[in-house]
Amino acid sequence: MNREVAKVSLYDQSMDEAFDRFCRVIWPNSRNRASSSTARFDGGQEGQAGSTQDPPTFVFVKGDDIVGHVTTIPVQLSSFAKTVAAHWIVGFMVLPEHRNGLVGPLLIKEVNRCLDCALSLHVEPPVLRILTGLKWVHKGILPQYLRVLNARGVSHNLQLSGVKALALHAGDTGAAVPFGFVESFIRMLGGWGLAVGQAIWVGLTIVARPRAVAVEVREEQEFDDSYNKLWQAVSGRFGACLARDQKYLQGRFGGYPDRYRVLGCRQENRLLGYCIVKTKQFSNDPRMGNMKVGTIVDCLFDPAAPGAFQALLDCVLKMCARESVHAVLCTASHAAVRPEFLIRHSSSADLKLLAMASRLGMGRSQVY
Look at residue 351 and tell me whether its pLDDT is greater than 80.
Answer: no
Average pLDDT over residues 155-162: 71
Look at residue 45 and tell me whether its pLDDT is greater than 50.
Answer: no
Give CA–CA dist 68/86, Å, rounded.
22
Give CA–CA dist 56/74, Å, rounded.
9
Q: At what angle do helices 103-114 and 125-133 cross, to 10 degrees?
A: 50
Mean pLDDT of the chain: 77
| The total number of structural domains that make up the chain | 2
Give CA–CA dist 176/292, Å, rounded.
35
Give CA–CA dist 119/140, Å, rounded.
12
Amino acid symbol at 209: R
Instruction: Supply angle C-alpha 310, 336, 365, rounded to 5.
Output: 145
Do 42 and 93 lie in a common domain? yes
Amino acid symbol at 297: V
Residue 42 lies in a domain: yes
Q: What share of the chain is helix, strand, coil (3-state, %, to 5)?
A: 40, 30, 35
Residue 275's pLDDT is what? 95
SS (H, E, C) 225-278: CHHHHHHHHHHHHCCCEECCCHHHHHHHHHCCCCCCEEEEEEECCEEEEEEEEE
Do 149 and 130 lie in a common domain? no
Helix segments in 83-225, DSSP class H: 103-114, 125-133, 151-157, 179-204
For residue range 72-126, list pLDDT tens digits in order. Answer: 999 888 876 678 889 999 999 999 999 999 999 999 999 999 998 898 888 788 9
For residue range 176-187, list pLDDT tens digits in order. Answer: 444 444 455 555
Number of Cβ within a 10 Å radius of residue 326: 26
Q: Which domain holds residue 271?
A: 144-221+257-344
Average pLDDT over residues 302-313: 85
From residue 119, give the alpha-carbon distance in Å to each of 134, 137, 248, 289, 352. Answer: 13, 10, 17, 32, 10
Look at residue 346 and tell me whether its pLDDT is greater than 50.
Answer: no
Do 116 and 187 lie in a common domain? no
What is the percent of the chain with per-residue pLDDT over 90, rounded to a whole number?
A: 38
Residue 49's pLDDT is what? 40
Do 310 and 337 lie in a common domain? yes
Residue 266 lies in a domain: yes
| C-alpha closest to that of 44 among 251, 303, 321 | 251
Residues in the chain: 368
- Whether residue 117 contacts residue 64, with contact meaning beta carbons closer than 8 Å, is answered with no
Look at residue 29 and tell me whether its pLDDT is greater than 70.
Answer: no
Do 273 and 184 lie in a common domain? yes
CATH number of domain containing 192: 3.40.630
Do 22 and 61 lie in a common domain? yes
Give CA–CA dist 74/58, Å, rounded.
14
Stronger pLDDT, 154 or 227, i.e. the higher one: 227
Instruction: Supply angle C-alpha 177, 180, 186, rounded to 5.
Output: 90
Residue 238 lies in a domain: no
Residue 333's pLDDT is what? 72
Average pLDDT over residues 18-35: 75
Residue 355 CB contacts under 8 Å (≥ 6 apart), including other chains:
117, 118, 119, 120, 136, 137, 139, 362
Stronger pLDDT, 28 or 162, i.e. the higher one: 28
Do 161 and 288 lie in a common domain? yes
Q: How many CA atoms lie within 13 A of 103 on its CB side?
A: 22
Do 215 and 134 lie in a common domain? no
CATH number of domain containing 81: 3.40.630.30
Do 86 and 120 lie in a common domain? yes
Do 160 and 46 lie in a common domain? no
